[in-house]
C-alpha cells in the first residue's frame, strides 16, 4: 500500500511538472513553474522551488506554456496561443493549424493587467524659506506637474512660480526681488514602444532678468533608452523657435534653435526617488544664444501621497541681459502631494 501511494505521488508530481510553464535562460538553466506576467521588459515567473522571480527578457532564451496565455505584440495585436520553446530568441505557437515562430523582441507584454481608465497623475510641490533676525527674507516656490499617458500618446502639463522678497535696509519694508512664472505643455505620440514624436510649448516671465516674456515652441523625436520597473530615461532632439522680449534696453530676440532634452526618474529604493529634467537650446543663427535649464532632486515618500523633496533649479544663459550673470542656482526644500 505504501509503495502504491509513493508511486501515485511521484506520478502526480511528474504530471504537474509536465504541465508547468517552462523558462529557458541564456545560461542554459531551465526553470519549471508559472509565467505570471511581463511588462516593461521584465517577466515575473513563479517557481515552486525558488519562489517569485523577476527576469529581464534579455536573459531569456525561450519559454513555453501548455495553457493559453495572452501575448501583447509590439505591433499592437493581442493573441492568446499555447506556446512551445523554439530556437534562441524565439517561441513557437500554433496559428490555424500551422506552426509560427515569434521573436521575443516582438512581445511587449504577457498576461497584461486589464485595461484601467486613463487618469491624470502628478504632484503639487511647495517650498517656503523664511529668514528673520538680522535680515528678513521670504522665498516661495510652487510647482505643479500633471501627466496623462496611454499606449498611443502622452500629455504633460506643468506650471511654476517663484517669488523672493527681502527687507529693504532703509525703509524696513519687504521688497520683491524676483518673480518668475512658467507655463508649459508637452505632447508625445508613440510610433513604437520606445520612439515618439513630440511637440512642446512653454512661456516664461522673470523680473530679475527683465524678461517680459520668453516663448519656446518646438517639435522633434524622442526615444526611451531605459524603461524598467525602477528606471525610465528618455532623450529628445529636434528644433525650436525662441522669442524673447525684455523690459530694459536688452534687444528683443527671435531665433531658431536646436533642442535636446532628457527626462530621468529612478527609484533608489521603495521610498526614495531620483528625478532630473534637462533642456538645452542653441541658436542656429548665433552660437552665443544658448539656454540650458535643469530640475534635479530627490523625493522621500512619507506616505502614499506626501513626500519630502530637495532639489536644484539651475538656469544658464550664455548671453544674459545686462547686470545679470550667466548662472542662476536655486536650492529648494519642501513637500509635495502626489495625485
pLDDT tens-digit map of 135-193: 567 789 999 999 999 989 999 999 999 988 887 666 667 777 888 999 999 999 999 98
In 3D space, the residue among 143, 145, 147 whose CA is nearest the CA of residue 121 turns out to be 147
- Quote the DSSP letter at residue 134: S
pLDDT given at position 99: 82
pLDDT given at position 170: 64
Q: Tell me which of 114-123, 157-166, 179-188, 251-260 is least confident.
A: 114-123
Whose grid coordinates read 506637474? 145
Give the helix/strand (H/E) hosting 130.
strand 121-131
pLDDT band at 283 (very low <50, low <70, confident <90, very high): very high
The residues, any chain, with a CB within 8 Å of residue 184's CB and separated by 6 or more, are 156, 157, 158, 159, 200, 201, 202, 203
pTM (predicted TM-score): 0.65
Domain(s) of CATH 2.30.30: residues in the chain: 14-110
Q: Tell me which of 37-41, 62-66, 83-87, 202-206 is least confident.
A: 83-87
- 135 class by beta-carbon count within 10 Å (0-12 exposed, 13-18 middle, 19+ buried): exposed
Distance from chain centroid for Cα 305: 18
Domain(s) of CATH 2.40.160.40: residues in the chain: 121-338
Cα gap 106→44, rounded to integer Å: 18
Q: What is the mean pLDDT of residues 70-89?
A: 82
Q: Of 150 and 84, which is predicted with more confidence?
A: 150
Class for the domain spanning 121-338: mainly beta
Q: Which of 22-36, 59-73, 162-176, 263-277 has the highest mean pLDDT?
A: 263-277
Query: Which CATH number is 14-110 given?
Result: 2.30.30
Helix (H, G, I), strand (E, B) or coil at 84: strand
Q: Report yes or no: 146 and 122 within 8 Å, Cβ to Cβ.
A: yes
Amino acid at each position: 500500500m505504501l509503495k502504491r501511494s509513493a508511486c501515485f505521488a511521484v506520478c502526480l508530481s511528474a504530471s504537474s511538472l509536465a504541465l508547468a510553464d517552462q523558462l529557458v535562460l541564456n545560461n542554459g538553466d531551465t526553470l519549471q513553474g508559472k509565467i505570471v506576467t511581463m511588462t516593461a521588459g521584465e517577466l515575473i515567473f513563479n517557481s515552486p522551488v525558488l519562489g517569485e522571480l523577476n527576469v529581464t527578457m534579455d536573459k531569456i532564451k525561450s519559454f513555453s506554456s501548455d495553457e493559453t496565455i495572452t501575448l501583447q505584440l509590439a505591433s499592437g495585436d493581442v493573441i492568446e496561443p499555447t506556446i512551445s520553446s523554439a530556437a534562441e530568441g524565439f517561441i513557437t505557437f500554433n496559428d490555424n493549424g500551422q506552426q509560427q515562430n515569434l521573436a521575443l523582441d516582438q512581445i511587449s507584454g504577457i498576461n497584461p493587467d486589464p485595461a484601467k481608465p486613463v487618469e491624470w497623475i502628478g504632484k503639487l510641490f511647495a517650498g517656503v524659506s523664511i529668514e528673520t533676525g538680522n535680515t528678513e527674507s521670504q522665498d516661495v516656490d510652487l510647482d505643479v506637474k500633471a501627466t496623462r499617458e496611454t499606449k498611443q500618446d502622452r500629455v504633460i502639463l506643468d506650471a511654476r512660480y517663484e517669488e523672493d522678497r527681502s527687507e529693504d535696509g532703509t525703509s524696513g519694508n519687504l521688497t520683491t526681488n524676483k518673480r518668475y512664472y512658467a507655463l508649459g505643455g508637452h505632447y508625445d505620440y508613440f510610433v513604437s514602444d520606445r520612439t515618439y514624436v513630440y511637440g512642446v510649448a512653454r512661456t516664461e516671465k522673470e523680473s530679475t532678468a527683465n524678461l517680459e516674456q520668453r516663448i519656446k515652441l518646438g517639435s522633434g523625436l524622442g526615444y526611451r533608452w531605459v524603461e524598467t520597473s525602477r528606471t525610465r530615461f528618455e532623450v529628445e532632439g529636434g528644433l525650436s523657435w525662441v522669442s524673447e522680449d525684455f523690459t530694459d534696453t536688452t534687444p528683443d530676440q527671435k531665433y531658431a534653435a536646436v533642442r535636446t532634452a532628457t527626462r530621468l526618474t529612478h527609484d533608489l529604493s521603495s521610498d526614495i526617488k531620483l528625478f532630473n529634467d534637462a533642456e538645452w537650446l542653441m541658436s542656429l543663427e548665433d552660437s552665443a544664444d544658448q539656454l540650458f535649464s535643469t530640475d534635479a532632486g530627490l523625493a522621500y515618500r512619507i506616505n502614499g501621497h506626501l513626500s519630502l523633496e530637495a532639489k536644484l533649479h539651475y538656469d544658464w544663459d550664455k548671453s544674459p541681459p545686462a547686470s545679470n550673470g550667466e548662472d542662476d542656482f536655486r536650492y529648494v526644500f519642501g513637500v509635495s502631494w502626489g495625485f
